[in-house]
Amino acid sequence: MKNKQKYEYEIREIDAMAYDEDGWTWNTSYNVGKISTSGDPGRAMMRMLNKKGVVCKRGACYINYDGSIYELRRRGTHEPYYAAIPMF
């Protein structure tokens, strides 16, 4: 059995501002912890947030991946709440 490589991610709470047609821009973010996973980082982030008491109502949020950062966003407005940022 081959061991999968684990990757570390910093989990940050996001404070963002909405712009009319341009979407959301991060104002600031706060470190809430870190995770290490060899699987799906979005799923690992949700597990960690659930342990900290952050609960997302079924169907109210989704995970967005832009090629480097995983964001937990609100459906409808697409407001980012949390992000998993890779640590190199």
Judge contact between 38 and 2, C-beta under 8 A. no
Query: Rounded to whole angstroms, what are the CA distances from 10 to 43, 48, 83?
Result: 14, 11, 8
What type of residue is 39? G
How many angstroms separate the CA atoms of 49 and 29, rounded? 15
| Candidate from 1-10, 39-48, 53-62, 76-85 with smallest mean pLDDT | 1-10
By DSSP bridging, strand 80-86 and strand 70-74 are antiparallel
pTM of the model as a whole: 0.89
| Segment 51-79, tens digit of pLDDT | 999 988 889 999 999 999 999 999 989 99
